[in-house]
């Protein structure tokens, strides 16, 4: 059985593949469509990080049986097409929740304390900036979490320890496990009361631009916006304009609608916007764990014993017996 590894995995993950005598694998670092078409034809399985897998690429893999995503988002994979072909698409589950939650808090603190402005001032010899730049405290501020899955819950635990009042909006849950978190039934209501809003939802047709110009205008003056989830969830131009005008205090962004972020993006020029290169989950510990789980999922798919909790298109395996009991 051949596994096409699109984008390198942690060495511990590749060691798992090497231990299987019945498996061969090929690591592809050039993930352009033209190059993938050269390598995908004999693949029984694919692992992939954030590289786009087009329908055209997958249609040239007649023996493909499983795609294992190194992460929890899957908007780079044509899931509907995979379902039509009976190809399960898997994710790694909650492995990266702590890492992303910690990075969310990093972005939040850096935005609140205008970290880029102060860092630049010291490097430029402007120590007097300490009296010119306005930071804000987190204590007693209201944080709205849009999405309250595993990552949102990890963020809530950390935010509460900073003295934040935490609210959550998630139409897919009926209750929250933490009595200190208030579940809201209306997003607009949550935005009107939020000093900080942090996004923790997948990118779907329903969530695309969930924070557009209208929604950003509902936020209180000097609010902060955080996105360590998926690019495309917010209107980046509207966000940049709101911060430049002083309507919002700042933002912390790890994901973007176009990646890599174009140098012409209005986000880059404003030091009130903290930027990181889609790296919230990329600690050494999480990279190893995600890589190993990615390999475990792809091998489970080939062995016919997938964990249904990690399959995003269950219809692809229903009736096949490809699931644990």
Residue among 230, 236, 249, 272 flagged as catalytic? 230
Cα 274 to Cα 117: distance, rounded to the nearest angstrom: 10
Q: What is the number of residues in the chain?
A: 325
117 given a catalytic annotation: no
Residue tagged 């972005």 (tokens): 107
Residue tagged 């899957």 (tokens): 74
CB crowding 229-239: b at 16 or more within 10 Å, else e: bbbbbbbbebb
241 given a catalytic annotation: no
Segment (H or E) for 85: helix 79-85
Which tokens belong to 271?
Answer: 């030091």
> Do 267 and 240 form a contact (C-beta atoms < 8 A)?
yes
Residue among 18, 132, 259, 309 flagged as catalytic? 259
Neighbouring residues of 64: CB distance < 8 A, sequence distance ≥ 6: 40, 43, 44, 45, 46, 58, 85, 87
Neighbouring residues of 263: CB distance < 8 A, sequence distance ≥ 6: none
> Do 60 and 39 form a contact (C-beta atoms < 8 A)?
no
Four-CA torsion 113, 119, 124, 127, nearest 10 degrees: 50
278 given a catalytic annotation: yes
- The sign one gets for the Cα dihedral 38, 39, 42, 43 is negative
Q: Which residues belong to the active site?
A: 230, 259, 278
């Amino acid at each position: 059985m051949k596994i096409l590894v699109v984008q390198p995995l942690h060495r511990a993950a590749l060691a798992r593949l090497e231990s299987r005598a019945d498996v061969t694998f090929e690591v592809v670092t050039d993930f352009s469509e033209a190059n993938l078409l050269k390598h995908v034809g004999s693949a029984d399985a694919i692992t992939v990080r954030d590289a786009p897998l087009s329908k055209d690429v997958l249609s040239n893999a007649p023996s493909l049986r499983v795609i294992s995503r190194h992460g929890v988002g899957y908007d780079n994979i044509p899931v509907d097409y995979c379902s039509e072909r009976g190809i399960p698409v898997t994710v790694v589950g909650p492995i990266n929740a702590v890492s992303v939650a910690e990075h969310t808090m990093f972005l939040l603190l850096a935005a609140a304390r205008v970290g880029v402005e102060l860092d630049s001032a010291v490097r430029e010899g402007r120590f007097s900036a300490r009296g010119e730049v306005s930071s804000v405290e987190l204590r007693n501020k209201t944080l709205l979490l849009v999405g309250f899955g595993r990552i949102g819950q990890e963020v809530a635990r950390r935010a509460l320890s900073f003295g934040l009042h935490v609210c959550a909006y998630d139409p897919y849950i009926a209750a929250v496990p933490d009595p200190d978190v208030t579940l809201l039934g209306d997003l607009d209501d949550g935005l009107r009361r939020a000093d900080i809003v942090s996004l923790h939802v997948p990118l779907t047709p329903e969530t695309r631009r969930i924070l557009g110009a209208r929604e950003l205008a509902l936020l209180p003056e000097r609010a902060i916006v955080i996105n360590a989830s998926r690019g495309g969830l917010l209107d980046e131009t509207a966000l940049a304009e709101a911060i430049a005008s002083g309507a919002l205090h700042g933002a912390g962004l790890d994901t973007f609608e176009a990646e890599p972020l174009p140098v012409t993006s209005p986000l880059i020029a404003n030091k009130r916007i903290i930027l990181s290169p889609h790296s919230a989950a990329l600690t050494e510990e999480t990279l190893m764990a995600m890589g190993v789980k990615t390999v475990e999922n792809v091998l489970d798919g080939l062995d016919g014993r997938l964990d249904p909790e990690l399959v995003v298109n269950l219809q692809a395996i229903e009736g096949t017996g490809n699931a644990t009991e």
